[in-house]
Amino acid sequence: MTLMTSTRQNEPSAMPLPNDERPKKIEIEGLRKSFGKIEVLKGISLEACQGDVVAILGASGSGKSTLLRCLNFLETPDAGTLSICGERITMPASAKGRMIQVDRQTLIRIRTRAAMVFQSFNLWSHMTVLENVIEAPIQVQRRPRAVCVAEAEAVLARVGLAEKRHTYPAMLSGGQQQRVAIARALAMRPEVLLFDEPTSALDPELVGEVLTVMRSLADEGRTMLVVTHEMGFARHVSSRTVFLHQGLVEEEGPSADVFANPKSERFRQFIRRIEV
Amino acid sequence: MDFRFLGETFMTLLAALPLTLYLALVSSICGALGALVLALMRLSSARPLSLIARAYVFVFRGTPLLIQLFLIYYGLGQFRPSLQMLGLWPFFRDPIYCTIAALAMNTAAYGSEIVRGGLAAVPRGAVEAAIACGMSPGLRFRRVVLPLATRIALPAYGNELIVMVKATSLASTITIMEVTGIAGKLIAETYRTMEIFACAAAIYLLINFVLTRLVLTLEWWMSPDRTTRRVLEQIGETKVKVTA
């Protein structure tokens, strides 16, 4: 793990990780999604192996959040084949086809294995920090309460909020709330973490604490898909970067390569605009 | 001022308090359940269900409670043979059941709009987080939607409960001897309208004083966020002044 970390952070371009030997956690092929007449995703293909940290970039409206939300079926894709943590689902080919009914047990497996962290935290305001974290493990995964509480306290300590376990979300800062949301995701023992613009709703001075936690998760070798506007994170922490433009993958590759010599003119412009 | 008479009257009326409370409590509980069912029907994507709920609310909110009460108690009496055949006659023969039915159906209509507002105001993000971690619709409703909606709807629902307490006085028109019924009987005997109705009014005021406290306490207890609690405490203080 530590070896991978130093590789990723210090000399990422020198040694790209061998993709083929690690199990594939996420494989998407030809993913399509429309809202009404607007086609947001026009056939996206994407892969993430165990330990990959994939940064998904793109201008607003490029479909990056929709892509992430399709991965745990918050949005039902119209077409494409998704293979998520070992669950393979093929959606009907017609873009206007009726939504197929993915069966409940499969959905639960996908959603607990690929845990989501939202832009606006979405904590349950009527529960304490600890109750937020143990809710899904107890109610959905049906694990024994004592085990869940012990694990929850461990993950809360992991994000630096052990002492806040009995407070309510409304009393926490945005950065703390987002760290609780990360702890809530970790408590399900997920195989993949999905981050949907995790720092976009935060005051600038609170972004750092969340990024630090995310960086440490990346260092642990966790598989993460991160929709973000944080170029620093994409450039220095993520192992691979995907740039979406108008519902298609415009640029994709190891982060170091992609940032060092972008092939696509649009991506070059995007970097220039963001990094000024 | 005849204080001895006032005191006696007060004690006499107080004897009817349990019946008033019984009517208010049972009809409020039945009405709240009805309100929840109606609100869910109204928000359901099944069009017939939502239409039925809308029609129900339109009718019961748009007609006077007194007339609803008369229709149930006196009106349904015309259909005694059919009701007897259905085995429903013992229910509709009893003025207490008829009052509870009228009050509950009426408050269900008003309450459903309040509950609907509460359900609609549950933050979308909280629900999405519940979906995203694999909660089934039932679990989601029980663990996330209902607790949050209750907190949002409670202040407005408190009003509905107060209205319900006062509405029980209509039961006196169909021979029930609750507080207002007894007051009417005493007036018929003594012609001292002012004192007796003033005593009756004081009793309703007392009930509602306790009721508002209870609702506020419940609100305070349910709101984890301290700032909300502080605001509620302040509201509590001003309300004490107003009531006193």
How many domains does the structure of chain B reveal?
1
In sequence order, the β-bridge partners of residue A81 are A29, A90
In chain A, what residues touch B151 (CB-CB under 8 Å)? Answer: 126
Q: In sequence order, what are the residues at sequence separation of 6 or more whose Cβ sits closer than 8 angstroms to the Cβ of residue A90?
A: A80, A81, A82
- Residue B77 sits in a domain whose CATH number is 1.10.3720.10
- Give CA A182 to chain center in angstroms: 11
Residue with more model confidence, A171 or B145:
B145
Which of A107, A120, A125 is opposite residue B134, by nearest beta carbon? A107
Smallest CA-to-CA distance from A45 within A70, A92, A80 is with: A80
CA of B127 vs chain A CAs: smallest distance (Å): 8
- Contact yes or no for B139 and A124 at CB 8 A: no
Which of A111, A171, A181 is opposite residue B225, by nearest beta carbon? A171
CA of A15 vs chain B CAs: smallest distance (Å): 35
- One-letter amino acid for residue B130 of the chain: A
* pTM (predicted TM-score): 0.83
**What is the ipTM, given to two decimal places?**
0.86
Give the residue from chain B lying closest to A124, CA to CA.
Answer: B126
Do residues B107 and B31 touch, judged by C-beta distance below 8 A? Answer: yes
Do residues A39 and A247 touch, judged by C-beta distance below 8 A? Answer: yes
- Contact yes or no for A136 and B134 at CB 8 A: yes
- Contact yes or no for B132 and A115 at CB 8 A: yes
User: Domain range holding B73?
Assistant: 3-243
Signed CA dihedral, B183, B185, B188, B190: sign only: negative
Chain B contact probe: residue of A69, A126, A129 with most B CBs at under 10 A: A126
Tokens of A43: 């056939």
Q: What is the pLDDT of residue A12?
A: 42
A103: confidence class by pLDDT, cuts 50, 70, 90: confident
Do residues A197 and A65 touch, judged by C-beta distance below 8 A? Answer: yes
CA pair distance A237, B187, nearest whole angstrom:
85
- Contact yes or no for B148 and A122 at CB 8 A: no
In terms of phi and psi (left: phi > 0; alpha: psi -120 to 50; beta: otherwise), the region of B232 is alpha
- Contact yes or no for A125 and B135 at CB 8 A: no
What is the 8-class DSSP label of residue A58? E
- One-letter amino acid for residue B28 of the chain: S
Tokens of A18: 């061998």
Signed CA dihedral, B68, B70, B71, B73: sign only: positive
Q: Which residues of A have a CB under 8 Å from any CB of B? A: 72, 74, 104, 107-108, 111-112, 115-116, 118, 120-126, 128, 135-136, 139-141, 168, 170-171, 181, 184, 188
In angstroms, what CA-CA distances link B42 with A117, B39, B52, B124, B227?
32, 5, 8, 18, 33
CA pair distance A152, A162, nearest whole angstrom:
9
**From the CB of residue B73, how many other CB atoms can be counted at a distance below 10 Å?**
23
In chain B, what residues touch A112 (CB-CB under 8 Å)? Answer: 133-134
Torsion (CA) B122, B128, B133, B136 in degrees, nearest 10 = 70
Which of B136, B143, B228 is opposite residue A135, by nearest beta carbon? B143
- Contact yes or no for B132 and A170 at CB 8 A: no
Given a cut of 70, whether residue A99 has pLDDT beyond it is no
Contact of B121 with chain A, judged by CB distance below 8 Å, is answered with no
Residue with more model confidence, A19 or A9:
A19
Q: What is the pLDDT of residue A94?
A: 45
Sheet holding A192-196, edge to edge: A114-117, A192-196, A223-227, A53-58, A240-245, A248-254
**From the CB of residue A140, how many other CB atoms can be counted at a distance below 10 Å?**
19
Give the residue from chain B lying closest to A68, CA to CA.
Answer: B132
Secondary structure (3-state) at A157: helix
- Report the percent of chain B where pLDDT is more than 90: 79
Q: What is the pLDDT of residue B209?
A: 96
If you average pLDDT over residues B215-235, what whole number do you get? 71
Give the residue from chain A lying closest to B152, CA to CA.
Answer: A126
pLDDT tens per residue, range B111-136: 999 999 999 999 999 999 999 999 99
In sequence order, the β-bridge partners of residue A48 are A26
Chain B contact probe: residue of A72, A76, A125 with most B CBs at under 10 A: A125
Q: What is the pLDDT of residue A101?
A: 64
- Contact yes or no for B129 and A123 at CB 8 A: yes
A91: confidence class by pLDDT, cuts 50, 70, 90: confident
Question: Please, which residues 209-228 of chain B have a Cβ atom closer than 8 Å to chain A?
Answer: 222, 224-228
Of A22-31, A70-79, A87-96, A240-249, least confident by mean pLDDT is A87-96
Secondary structure (3-state) at A227: strand
In angstroms, what CA-CA distances link B119 with A119, A125, B94, B217?
23, 15, 36, 22
In chain A, what residues touch B232 (CB-CB under 8 Å)? Answer: none
Given a cut of 60, whether residue A214 has pLDDT beyond it is yes
CA of B146 vs chain A CAs: smallest distance (Å): 11
Q: What is the pLDDT of residue B94?
A: 92
Chain A / chain B CB contacts < 8 angstroms: 74
Torsion (CA) B59, B65, B68, B70 in degrees, nearest 10 = -160
Do residues A16 and A65 touch, judged by C-beta distance below 8 A? Answer: no
Q: What is the pLDDT of residue A23?
A: 87
